[in-house]
Amino acid sequence: MIDHVSASWGLDENMSMYRHMYNDSTGIAEQKLGTVNITIQNSIFSEALDTWNHAFGSTLGGENCSFMRNLWADNAGRNPSIGWNGVFNFVNNVMFNWVHRSTDGGDYRALYNIVNNYYKPGPSTPKDTPIGHRILKPESGRSKLKYQVYGRAYVAGNIVEGFPNVTKDNWDGGVQVEELPNAGPYQADMKATAPLPMPELT
């Protein structure tokens, strides 16, 4: 549990927690495993430094992870980036003034609950491009499959300031795949009509 933390001016990301390296002391190479039972709430991740063109907010994820009532502000990207598969619970957060990435990541096994968040484009956000009203950009780049799969997503109740159509229906341009302005032909397989298994979050 991380609660009431402020992290700013990071050179890579301001707060990241999604995996660990496990060594079983047998001489076998370390395994990359997801973090487990993570909650980050009531925290601020802002103003990542662009010293190496890497002004990023967070990479988050793991198994049984929840992120609620946080603020990501003035980070160019990764607001946040989803760094693992499994259920990603993202509820009642605020994202402000991203540049080229809002919430994105995951892989073909990811299960996203993106619910009741507030996306406020700022002066650095390119509002006349799809990134200006993007809620979620699922990815499949780590998939070893010969075809593209983007996981399952319940995306509802999110507000994108200045974009009433996206606010009314988050799937009307708010969920974008690759360079498409929306989820395109993947929407039928991706879209969940009810929250994926998650704890009660407020």
State pLDDT tens for residues 125-171. 999 999 999 999 998 866 677 777 889 999 999 999 999 999 999 99
**Parallel, antiparallel, or unpaired for β 136-138 and 36-41?**
unpaired
| pLDDT tens, residue by residue, 10-55 | 998 999 999 888 888 887 888 888 898 999 999 999 999 998 888 9
Going from N- to C-terminal start, the domains of the chain cover 2-190
pLDDT in tens, 68-115: 999 999 999 999 999 888 889 999 999 999 999 999 998 888 999 999
Chain-centroid distance of CA 136 in Å reads: 7
Residue 202's pLDDT band (cuts 50, 70, 90): low
How many other C-beta atoms are found inside a 10 Å radius of the C-beta of residue 56? 25
Helices of type H across 55-163: none
Strands 19-22 and 31-34: antiparallel
Is residue 111 helix, strand or coil? strand
Residue type, 79: N
pLDDT at 143: 66
Q: What are phi and psi of 36, to 5 degrees?
A: -130, 140
C-alpha distances in angstroms, 139 versus 5, 18, 68, 149, 195? 29, 16, 22, 8, 20
pLDDT digits (tens, 9 = 90+) for 160-173: 999 999 999 999 99
More confident residue, 193 or 27: 193
What residues are labeled active site? 78
